[in-house]
Copies of this chain bind each other. A is one copy, B any other.
């Protein structure tokens, strides 16, 4: 029974979780599938093609994330954002995968579309919704990227650098903060940041909605 593309992708995802993105090589993957390296290229066009497929797989199900009919645009945006973060955190180097993907697949496009739809329900024009979407997506990517990177909190940092952080002479604010840092600060930080974003978005989108009180460009509008 011949190898299927889906088996290649599945095994790659398993391997990713085991050894991380840096160690995930086509040769290692081929070994795991008991084929020669060249065999993979019958199923994927390139390693990047494989990584793009992996990215899509990680986002599977997210666009279909349910939202109750009466949900406010804000809650829907929040749910989508939280869902995206969860999806990225569910696999090792998930955010790096997303950031490195070159061709956005259906899942990614659908997520962006849903987010824009939610933001549009404020009455803001589509360009404002697109800016808002960009902002939220950038935030999530940047945040989880830091969250999953092996620095600072992984406690594998050398001491000299830890000391630098506490150097109150050079970094008065950081130093004080570093002292009160706790393991779940990052979760709280994500939620705080998301609230900040949504707060800012509601102000911004309302203002843009006023500027353009009769939106004609939205998908719901007539085209004449």
Residues of A whose CB lies within 8 Å of any CB of B are 96, 99-104, 106, 109-110, 112-113, 116-117, 120, 126-132, 134-135, 137-143, 145-146, 149-152, 157-158, 161, 164-165, 168, 170-177, 180, 185, 188-189, 192-193, 195-201, 203-204, 217-219
Contact = CB atoms under 8 A, between A and B. Distances in A.
Contacts of A151: 101-104
Given A195-B204, A200-B200, A109 B219 contact: no
Given A113-B170, A168-B219, 4 more contacts: A138-B141, A140-B142, A172-B219, A203-B203
Contacts of A100: 149
Given A141-B146, A170-B106, A130 B200 contact: no
A126 B172 contact: no
Nearest to A204: B196
B192 A196 contact: no
Interface of A is mostly: helix
Oligomer: number of copies: 2
Nearest to A217: B176
A165 to B, nearest CB: 7
Nearest to A101: B151
Nearest to A120: B173
Contacts of A96: 99
A188 B164 CA distance: 37
Given A99-B149, A217-B180, A109 B139 contact: no
Contacts of A109: 164-165, 170-171, 174
Contacts of A164: 106, 109
Contacts of A104: 151-152, 161
14 contacts: A96-B99, A110-B170, A110-B171, A113-B170, A113-B173, A120-B173, A127-B185, A130-B189, A131-B196, A132-B196, A138-B140, A139-B139, A173-B218, A199-B199
Nearest to A145: B99
A21 B101 CA distance: 15
Contacts of A128: 192
